[in-house]
Structure 1
Amino acid sequence: MLSDNVLTPDEIAQLTEQDWQNRLTADEYYILRQKGTERAFTGLYTDVFDKGVYRCKGCNAKLFDSDNKFHSGCGWPSFDKTINDTALTETLDLSHGMRRIEVTCTNCGGHLGHVFPDGPRETTGVRYCINSASIHLENQ
């Protein structure tokens, strides 16, 4: 493991789908590994604004700082900025008849949600719309 108990690329490469199913809950596996989405307003972190760092449930990589979380009203945790420029990977998603940008954890490839250009204009102007089941909050 890397620092902060983050899985290394070698450790991730050795995980089978059965290993992922054993490591994650059914909801976490559905979202992170099968690109699922939790229902709006049902996730643990939708209305949580505690201080800390949000990490990937799949590999424990740092993704977002709580200072960049905001209430968007969309039903999922929303952030206007990632913890660093390499935390997430963005990919065009044409599924479900829509054109969106999917965001995944760069370290483990886990599906997190999508990014939209409708975030706070006074900051970055983007909204990372993230499934609660794909992240966990490490309080500070």
Structure 2
Amino acid sequence: MKGAQSQAIGRSRGDITTKILALTDALGNLVDFRLLPGQAHDLRGVPALIDDLAADHLLADCAFDADWLRTTLAKRSITPVIPPKSNRRFPAEFDKKTYKWRHLIENYFGRLKENRGIAMRSCKTDQSFKAFISLAESIIQLR
């Protein structure tokens, strides 16, 4: 691939953006992350992200509500805590009490985006942007 697509830069409603797809542990600490172009759907990066996942539950927002993800998690004995999309004909059940803990991932992104370079994607290449995210995560862990 050439150009912006190979650098996870894409056009979305806001402008030219990059999505950070992050996986955190139960305490809100980063486990792994992937970069996606702004126009890409969030589910596109999930298979690589959950490839070696060992957990009891996976909390995600309704953008991750897909039958294939639910069956993949069920085969691996991971309970999906994902609210159904509003347009689902037969909405899937989820534990609302456990879902309340999803704020930890939002808190993580808030701490991560305190770094202006991450919030504004000031790095030109994916490699340097990933390094900047890793460095920011290290600083967060040291706090």
TM range (shorter): under 0.3
Higher fraction of helix:
2
Calculate the TM-score normalised by the size of structure 1. Answer: 0.27
Structure (1 or 2) with the larger CA radius of gyration: 2
